Structure 1
Amino acid sequence: MKTNLNYFRSRLIVRTLIKLGLDNVCISPGSRNTPLTMAFAAEKELNKHPIIDERASGFFALGLAKSTGKPVAVVCTSGTAVAELYPAIIEAHNSRLSLIILTADRPPYLRNSGSNQTINQNQIYAANCDHYFDLGLPENSEEAFVNTIKVTASIWENSIHPYNGPVHVNIPFEKPLEPGSVDTEINEEILRRLKERIDGFPGAPFPREFSKNINLLIGSEENVLVVLGNAAYSAEFIKKCAQFSDKFKIPVCVEAPWKLPGLSNQPFVRNFGNLLLSKNFKKMLDFDKIIVFGRNFTSKNIERFFSRWNKALINISVKGEGLGKPADNKLTVQINDMDAINSLLSSETGFAHRRTASYQFIKKIDKVFSDFQKESFKELSINSEVELTAGIAQLLQDKEDIPVFFSNSLPVRDFDYVRELFRNRVFVNRGASGIDGIIATAAGVSTGFQLPTVLVIGDLAFHYDNNSLQLVAGKKIPLLILLINNGGGSIFEYLPVFDEVLGETSGGNPRGEEKSIAHLSVEKTTAEEFIGKNTADETVRKNTADETGGKNPAEKKLSNEKFEEKNGKNSPEKDCFSGEELNRTDDFKTFFKTDTGLDFQKIAAAYGIKQREIKSEKDLSEAFTQFFDSPEPTLIEVKFDSVASRRRKDALKEGIISSVNNSLSDFDKYLATEQNQQIQEPDDYLRNRTR
C-alpha cells in the first residue's frame, strides 16, 4: 500500500485512541498539523469539533471532559498556537480532567535556527502536565509502527491512571504533510498485523490497584468530620461516601458544587461553609480529626477554618499534594479517592455515643440553615446578584436535567451561598479558578450532555472570552448566557484593597478576610426591611435608572460621597516621594474595578446571537420560558450597582445567620448536658429548641 508516512503514523495514533475509548477531538486549523487533522477527519464514528481559536478549543475540550467523564483529544499546529492551550491545560491539571494534547511540531533540527513558526515545544507544559511524550520523526519500519501503537496506549493510560490529568504529546512532522503526497510503501502483511494489534486492545479503562489503607488512622472512639472539596468525583465514590457516613455516623460535608446522580438523596451536610459564619456553630465542632478529599474550596470560610484548625487534619491526595500552608497537625496520604473510601469502609464499626450525637446534631443544624435560607429566597427577585442566583434555581425547579455553569469570581461565590436551592448538575472551573475560557467551557458542557445549558457569567469574564461566541453561534449550541453586569471587577470590593480606597486600615484583617461593607449604607437597615416588599427595592436596582447610565442616582451619589468623604476631601493621602496628593478612588477604578464600558448586547448581536436586557422579574421569567421553548444561543443581561447589591446581600445573609444563631443560643447548655452524660436524643433536643 502506498501512502504518506506522516499521515500513516497519524492514522495509527488515531485508530489506537478510538479503540481505547476516545469519543471527542477538538481541532484548530493549521498547516503543520495537517496529517493529524486529516487522520481524525477520516474517522466517521468520532465526534470532531473544528474550533478556530486554540484557547477556546482547549476550554471547550475541558467542558467535554467534565460532562462525559472521558479523555478528550485536542489538536493544534506548531508555534504560539501551542501556548494558547496552556490556560486550559492548567485548569485540567488542577481539576484532574483528562485531556490528550496533540501538538504538531517542526522537525527538531529546525529548533533554534530562526525557522518560521518554530519554537521550543519540548516540555512546554511541564509545570502543569505530569506526562510528556515526544514521538520524534516517523520511520518506515514495522518496529517503529508497533512502537507508535504502544506509546499511544501509554498516552491513554497516563491520562486516566493513577489519576486523571492532561498528557502532552509533541509530534514533529517533515514535509510533505498532505495525504495525497505519497512517499512510502507499506507491506500488506505488515498492515494486517498492525490492524490486529490495534483491534486487540480491550477498549476498557486500565485497572487501578489499591495502594494504601488509611482505616487505622481513625480510632473507633474518635469524633471525625469528612469534607469533600472540589474534584471530579464519580457516582460510585459519592455512593460509598454516603454508606460510610451512615454506617459510622460520621458527617460528610459536601463542598463540591455539582450534583451527581443520587447526591440529592444522600445524607450529606451541604451548608458547612455557610454555617461557619456562625460563632455558635463553630463552638459545636468538637472533632478529633478532619478528613479532606479534593482541593480548591469555593468557600473562603472553609479555607480559613482549616488554616486555624489545630487538631489532626488528614488530606487525601492521589498526587501527594499538600493542603494549604504546611503545619504539624496536617498529614497528607497519597492514595486515590476510591481506594481511600474503600479503606475507610473496612474500619471497625464500633463508635462512641459522642459521635452519634454530633452526627445527628450537625445534620439538624444544616437543615435549620436550609429552611431559613429557603424562606428568605422564596420570592423571585433580581434586587441583588445572590437573589438572582437563587431565582435561577427557582426557574429551573422542574428542569433538574439542565446543566448550569457558574463563572469564577462573584457568580460562583453567590452560587456557593445558595447551592442548596439547586437540584441541577452545576459546573465550575475551580482548578485554577481563572475567568478565562468560561464561555467555551460551558459550550463544551452543553455539547457533551447534548442538553440546553445555562451559563451565569460576569461582565469581565464575558469580555475575556467573547470570541467563543463564534463557537457557540457556529455550532448552534443551546446556551443561555446570563450576563451579570455590575460594572467590572466587583469582587475587589470584597477585599482589603477596597478598604484601603475608603481610607480604612486593614490591620484587623491580616488574612485578607472578606469584610462587610454594610457601613456604606446611610442608615442601618434590617434584614427584614430588605426582605420585605417596599419601595426601597426599586432604589437598589441599577437597571431602573437608564438615564444615569444604568446606575441609580441615589446609589451613585452615595458611592461618590462615601469615596470622597473617606478618601479625597477629608483625609487626603500624599505620596511619600513626590508629596503629591493621591487619589485612591481613581486608582481603584482604573486598576481594579476596570469597567469595560462595552455594549455587550451589540457584541452578541454581531455574532448573530439573540439578546435582551432584563429589567424585572417578569422579564427574567419570560426569557427562561422563551429559551427552553426554543433553545438557541441567547444572551440575557442584568445590570447591578455593585455597592448597593453588596449591602443587600450582607443584610440577607446576616438575617439568615442571626436566625440560625437564635436556634443555637442554648448550645452551651447542650454541651454541658452532654458532658454530664444526661443527654437526651439529639433529634428531640433540637426539635424542642427550634420550635
Structure 2
Amino acid sequence: MLSSVTHARVIVDELVRCGVADAVLCPGSRNAPLSFALQAADAAGLLRLHVRIDERTAGFLALGLAARSGRVVPVCTTSGTAVANLHPAVLEAAHAGLPLLVLSADRPAELVGTGASQTIAQPGIFGSAARAVLTAAPGASAALLRSIVDRAVAAAGAGAPGPVQLNVPFAEPLVPGAGDGLPPGRAGGAPWTAVARPTPVVAPLPLDPSAPTLVVAGHGGPPVRTGAPVVAEPTSGAWPGSVRSGPWLLDRPDLRPAQVVVVGRPTLHRPVQRLLADPGVAVYAVQDGRDPQGWTDVAGSVRAVGALPELEPDADWLHRWKVADAAATAVLDRDLAGPTGLVLARALVPALPDGAQLVLGSSNPVRDVSLAAVPRAGLRVLSNRGVAGIDGTVSTAVGAALAHPGPTVALMGDLTLLHDTTGLVIGPDEPVPDLTIVVLNDRGGGIFHLLEQGAPEHAGAFERVFGTPHRVDIGALAAATGAAHHRAEDVAGVVSELTRPVRGVRLVELVADRSELRDRHELLRTAVRNAVDGAMLDVTG
C-alpha cells in the first residue's frame, strides 16, 4: 500500500501531466502530504503554487485563475470546516461553468462519526453543485490513482466545465520519510488516460431570418456574427459589436422584436427578463456545450434551442434601432451631472489599453459598465455572474490578474471590497499580480437605492438594513495589507492614476454620495426616453 506522502505525490504528478499550471493551497495538518507535494512541484517549476490562509479567498483565487486561463485549477484544503468554506466558490464555478478542482484532504473513513477532531462527512458536501465527487482512497494503486485524477480533471474541464471534488483520505504519517518515492508514470509526461473533449454538432434554430429579430447576449456567451441588433452584457463575447444604449431601449414598444435569440446567460437587466416573458415575442436560445445550464429560460418561453443561423432583418427594423441608439447615445455622452458610477464607467473603459483585462464587481459596477460604457474590442471583461454574489471579488481579480499577460483593473464598490478583505492578504513568498482595484466608495450598498426597497416610503428602515453604512478607512485598510492606496478627487483623477505604472496591488478610491442615486438614475432615464421619443417621431412620421 502506498504511503500518504507517495499517494499525494502521485496525485500532484498526474495533475501536472494533465496540464495543471496553477494550484492554490491552504495550510493544514491533514493535507500536509499534498502540501509537500505541491511545494516540491512549484520548486521544480512544474506548476505555480499560491498559498492563502483563508479557504474562501483561496477558492475565489482559484476561480479567477480558471476564469482567465481556461485551465483546471485545484484548490487544496485540510479536513473539516476548511472544505465547507469553499462552498461559495464551488457554487459560482458550477453556475459560471468554470473548471475548479477541490482537493479536500480527509481523515480515514473509519474515523468519520467517531468524534475525531476536524472530521466530518466530506464526500458530497457540495451537493448537486459538483459535477463529480471522487475519492482517492488509501490502498489504491498508483495506476488507479492516476486514472482517478484524470477522471476528475476531465469532469472539471471537458464538455460543460464546472467544479469537481476529489476527496483524499490520508492516514498518518503525514510527512515525508524513507521510501516515499514517486512511482513512475508513462513516459513523456503524458496523462495516464488521455481524454478528448466532446465536439457537439448543433442544428440551426428554426426561426424566420427576415423577421424583426433582436439578439440578447448574456454572461459567458460566445461572440456572434449577425445582421440583427445585439444587446449584450459586458461579460459576453458579443459585447464589442453590440448596441451601445441597448439596455435603455428594451422597454420601447416601437422597438419590440418579433423574435429574440438568447446567447449566454443574461442576468443584469430587468427589461431583458420582461422582454423574454412577453407572450407576443418568439424566444429562441443558442445552445452552448460549455453552458452548465444548457440554455437560459427563466420565463419558460424558449421555443427551440440550436445554433444561430444567418439573420437578415428588413432595413426598416435596423434603421429604427440605429436612430434610437444614436439619440440615446447622445444623452449618455453629454456632460450630465449623472450618477458617479455611470460617469466613472463611461470614462474608465476607453482609458484601458488594448490587451487589458477588466474585472467587474457585483451590483452596480457591472451594470454601470453595461449602461454607460461604449462597447469595445481589445478588452477582456470578467465578473462573477454565475450566482452573481458579492463573494470573493478581490480574490477573483487577483487570480485573473495572475493569469493575464497584460494589465488588469478591477472596478468594485466599497462593500464588495470589504466582503473580501482577506483577498488583499498575500504572503511574502507568493506570486503577486500587478493589479489596480478602483473602489467607488459611497459608504454602503448603493444598489439597493435602485430597487424597490429604495423607494421613499421605505426610507425609515432603508439606511440601516439595506444601506448598511460603515466607517472603514480604505487607506488604512490598504496600509494594513501592504497594498498601495491613492484617493482620487474625481473621475478624471481616477483615469489619470490608471496611466501610472503599477507594481503589486494598488487601491484607487473615489468617494461618492449615494443619497441622490435613485433620483439621478431616474433623471437620466427620463432624458434618454425623451430624446428617443423625439428621434422616433421623425422615423415614424
TM-score normalised by L of structure 2: 0.89
Contact 1:376-1:656 at 8 Å conserved across structures: no
Q: 1:255 to 1:156 in 2, by over 3 A?
A: same
Task: Note closer, same or farther for the CA distance 1:180–1:169 as it changes in structure 2 (3 Å cut).
Answer: same
What is the distance in 2 between the residues matched to 1:482 and 1:441?
14
Give a deviation string over 1:145-203, Cα, whole Å, max 9, x none. Answer: 22222222111211123211111111111111112264x788xxxx45x3349636697
1:387 to 1:269, Cα distance in 2 relative to 1, 3 A: closer
| Equivalent residue number for residue 255 of structure 1 | 233
Kept after mapping to 1: 8 A contact 2:248/2:525? no
Distance 1:624 1:638, change over 3 A: same
Q: Does 1:663 align with 2:535?
A: yes
Q: 1:253 to 1:5 in 2, by over 3 A?
A: same
SS of 2:389's equivalent in the other structure is coil
Aligned partner of 1:403 in structure 2 is 357
Instruction: Report the counterpart of residue 454 of structure 2 in structure 1.
Output: 498
Instruction: Verify the 8 A CA contact 1:14 1:39 in the aligned structure 2.
Output: yes
Q: Relative to structure 1, is the Cα distance of residues 419 and 75 closer, same or farther in structure 2, using a 3 angstrom cutoff? A: same
Q: What is the match of residue 177 of structure 2?
A: 180
Q: Could you say which residue in structure 2 is the equivalent of 1:291?
A: 261
What is the 5 A alignment of 1:665-684?
Answer: 665-669=537-541
The one-letter amino acid of 1:482's match is V
3-state SS of 1:420 partner: coil
Cα-to-partner distance string for 1:309-335 (whole Å, 9 max, x where unaligned): 4333223454565645454x43464xx
Could you tell me how far 1:620 is from its partner in structure 2?
Answer: 2.8
Q: Is the 8 A contact 1:384 1:649 kept in 2?
A: no
Aligned to 2:217: 228
Please give the secondary structure, in 1, of the residue aligned with 2:534: helix
Deviation at 1:88, TM superposition (A): 0.8
Residues 284 and 497 of structure 1: CA distance in aligned 2, closer, same or farther (over 3 Å): closer
* Separation in 2, partners of 1:362, 1:124: 52
Q: Distance in 2 between matches of 1:230 and 1:314?
A: 17
Q: CA 1:621–1:211 in structure 2 vs 1: closer, same or farther (change >3 Å)?
A: closer
Q: Deviations over 1:466-500 (max 9, x none)?
A: 1111128864422212111112112111122222x
Q: Which stretches in structure 1 are left out of the alignment for 5+ residues?
A: 334-339, 505-562, 564-584, 670-691
What do the CA deviations read for 1:510-555 (whole angstroms, capped 9, x no partner)?
xxxxxxxxxxxxxxxxxxxxxxxxxxxxxxxxxxxxxxxxxxxxxx
Find out whether 1:372 has 2:330 as its counterpart: yes
* Kept after mapping to 2: 8 A contact 1:227/1:290: yes
> Can you list the C-alpha shifts for 1:332-382, whole angstroms capped at 9, x where unaligned?
64xxxxxx43xx45xxx7x87xx23256336524751574156325x9x89
Question: 1:202 and 1:314, CA in 2 relative to 1: closer, same or farther beyond 3 A?
Answer: same
TM-score relative to the length of structure 1: 0.71
Q: Is 1:652 matched with 2:524?
A: yes
Q: Distance in 1 between matches of 2:338 and 2:255?
A: 35
Deviation at 1:77, TM superposition (A): 0.8
Cα distance in 1 between the residues matched to 2:382 and 2:354: 14
- Find the aligned partners of 1:228 and 1:446 in 2 and give their Cα distance: 25
User: Separation in 2 of the partners of 1:617 and 1:212?
Assistant: 46
Question: Aligned Cα RMSD in Å?
Answer: 2.9
Residues 1:478 and 1:373: Cα distance change in structure 2 (over 3 Å): farther
Structure 2 residue aligned with 1:137 = 138
User: 2:37 aligned with 1:68, yes or no?
Assistant: no
- 1:454 corresponds to: 409
Aligned to 2:478: 604
Q: Report SS of the residue matched to 1:49.
A: strand
Instruction: Compute the displacement of 1:219 (Å).
Output: 4.3
3-state SS of 1:103 partner: strand
Map 1:17-96 to 2 at 5 A.
Answer: 17-43=15-41, 44-96=45-97
> 3-state DSSP class of the match of 2:173?
coil
Give yes or no for contact 1:320–1:332 (8 Å, CA) kept in 2. no
Q: Does 1:594 align with 2:489?
A: no
CA deviation string 1:115-135 (max 9, x = no partner): 000111120112211211122
Q: If each structure's helix is expressed as a fraction of its own residues, which one has the higher value?
A: 1
One-letter code aligned to 2:139: P
Aligned 8 A contact 2:9 2:34 in 1: yes
- Hey, what's the Cα distance between the residues in 1 that align with 2:484 and 2:137? 47
Q: How far apart, CA to CA, are the structure 2 residues paired with 1:388 and 1:185?
A: 56
Q: How does 1:40-439 map to 2 (within 5 A)?
A: 40-43=38-41, 44-139=45-140, 144-180=141-177, 182=179, 191-192=183-184, 194-196=185-187, 199=190, 206-215=196-205, 217-219=206-208, 222-231=211-220, 233=221, 237-238=222-223, 241-242=224-225, 245=226, 249-257=227-235, 264=240, 266=241, 268-277=242-251, 279=252, 282-287=253-258, 289-316=259-286, 318=289, 319=292, 323-327=296-300, 329-331=301-303, 333=305, 340-341=306-307, 344-345=308-309, 355-357=313-315, 360-361=318-319, 364-365=322-323, 367-369=325-327, 371-372=329-330, 375-376=333-334, 384-396=340-352, 399-420=353-374, 423=377, 424-439=379-394
Pair 440,373 (structure 1): closer, same or farther in 2 beyond 3 Å: farther
Instruction: Tell me how far apart the structure 1 counterparts of residues 152 and 87 of structure 2 sit (CA, whole Å).
Output: 19
- The SS at the match of 1:483 is strand
Q: Which amino acid letter does the alignment assign opposite residue 19 of structure 1?
A: R
> What SS does the corresponding residue of 1:461 show, helix, strand or coil?
helix
Q: How many residues align?
A: 533
The Cα shift of 1:641 comes to 1.6
For residue 425 of structure 2, give the secondary structure of its aligned residue in structure 1: helix
In 2 relative to 1, CA 15–366 (structure 1 residues): closer, same or farther, beyond 3 Å? Answer: farther
Structure 2: distance between partners of 1:589 and 1:426: 32
**Secondary structure at 1:425 match in 2:** strand
Mapped contact 1:472–1:479 kept (Cα < 8 A): no
Report % sequence identity: 26
Deviation readout 1:231-259 (Å, 9 max, x if unpaired): 1x5xxx52xx31xx1xxx44443234256
Q: AA paired with 1:14?
A: V
User: In the superposition, relative to structure 1, how do residues 92 and 444 fare at CA in structure 2: closer, same or farther (>3 Å)?
Assistant: same
Deviates more, 1:40-49 or 1:608-617: 608-617
Tell me if structure 2 keeps the 8 A contact 1:251–1:362.
no
Query: What's the offset of the Cα at 1:308?
Result: 2.6
SS at match of 2:314: helix
The structure with the larger Rg is 1
Instruction: Report if aligned partners of 1:6, 1:138 keep a CA contact under 8 Å in 2.
Output: no
Cα distance change of structure 1 residues 118 and 445 upon mapping to structure 2, 3 Å threshold: same
8 Å contact kept, 2:255–2:321: no
Distance 1:368 1:375 in 2: 10
Change (3 A) 1:331 1:145: farther
Give the conservation status (yes or no) of the 8 Å contact 2:147–2:193. Answer: no
Deviation track 1:82-114 (CA, whole Å, cap 9, x = no partner) reads 011111111111111111111111111111111
Q: CA deviation at 1:61?
A: 1.0
Task: Decide whether the 8 Å contact of 1:384 with 1:648 is kept in 2.
Answer: no
Displacement of 1:389 after TM fit? 1.8
